[in-house]
A and B are shown apart, each in its own frame.
Chain A
């Protein structure tokens, strides 16, 4: 575990979370959520939780983002907030 690496990813994660929630375009929000998932997966690999990282990479960054995109595509892309 490298502390600097840890802190940098954590700060990136907070930034990604805030952006994902504040973007008005839902497709972008879903993509940024995918980025968030990938960052958290990196963090876990770095913390020694390889299995969790693997799952998060496939579930959080992969399938979840695809499900969000599928829903956004089938509904509306613009959000009021």
Chain B
């Protein structure tokens, strides 16, 4: 009870302070607020630079993708590293390594109505998922590859691809998914993803430019002009992100659903 009183006080203070700060804000949706148009006396507005110059710099119509993978590509690389670290951390925390005789066998309590084993091999679910999974994967690949022109990109596509494997594990069982995408494979794939991303960066360094300065890759990619080199490199980078995200999303699910044993699953 005491903790609830304390929590209420702390939360009310926090909320009050935040609202006190909000009072100074320009109205919601104001196109001339500082984030949208810069401040008077400051430099050129970043957001307006992105909107007006991105296509000139990179030939990528989806500004979000361009900013994500090029202007702020360093953030995105470390974001991928965060995902990778999470996969590793979950392995380190939960994975039961070695050939155990399953001491963590579930106790079937009465309220665990979910754990009726028979549910998994139902014919309707099985058949539907068998049809749907390839479509999900195809859509995932499209999202990765078409992220320049439409919403999407490495993360979204990677999550879709990863969730297609999760769907496989849900509709049949975890082993069926692991047969197609084993633990060794997904960790290799995850590391390869980051390697691809960072590889693009280091390639630029080898060509004596800064890390992730894709423009210089035109010599290697044989594109006309640095803009197209940027555009193509972004695709490569997104593919790397998609690799890592696919692998780690599935690995997180596999570990969480089987309590780290990678057996049975849900």
Interface residues of A (CB under 8 A from B): 1, 27, 50-51, 53-55, 58-59, 62-63, 66-67, 69-71, 73-74, 76-78
Contact = CB atoms under 8 A, between A and B. Distances in A.
Contact of A1 (B29, B143, B151): B29
B114 A58 contact: no
B58 to A, nearest CB: 16
A61 B65 CA distance: 22
Given A51-B65, A71-B256, A73-B114, A63 B163 contact: yes
Given A54-B151, A73-B257, A62 B111 contact: no
B226 interface: no
Interface of A is mostly: helix
A51 B256 contact: no
Contacts of B65: 51
A67 B252 contact: yes
A62 B162 CA distance: 11
Contact of A74 (B68, B106, B159, B163): B106
A63 B159 CA distance: 8
A71 B253 CA distance: 10
Given A54-B151, A54-B152, A70 B266 contact: yes
A66 B253 contact: yes
B7 to A, nearest CB: 12
Contacts of A55: 155-156, 159
Contacts of A71: 256
Interface of B: 29, 62, 64-65, 68, 106, 109, 111-112, 114-115, 143, 151-153, 155-156, 159-160, 162-163, 166, 170, 249, 252-253, 256-257, 259, 266
B166 A77 contact: no
Given A51-B152, A63-B159, 19 more contacts: A51-B62, A51-B65, A54-B156, A55-B156, A58-B163, A62-B159, A63-B162, A63-B249, A66-B166, A69-B266, A70-B253, A70-B257, A71-B256, A73-B114, A73-B257, A73-B266, A74-B256, A74-B259, A78-B111
Contacts of A50: 64, 151
Contacts of A58: 156, 159-160, 163
B257 A74 contact: yes
Contacts of A76: 109, 111
B153 A51 contact: yes
A77 B112 contact: yes
16 contacts: A1-B29, A27-B114, A51-B68, A51-B152, A54-B143, A58-B156, A62-B159, A63-B159, A63-B163, A63-B253, A66-B163, A70-B253, A73-B112, A73-B115, A76-B109, A77-B112
Nearest to B152: A54
Contacts of B257: 70, 73-74
Contacts of A74: 106, 256-257, 259
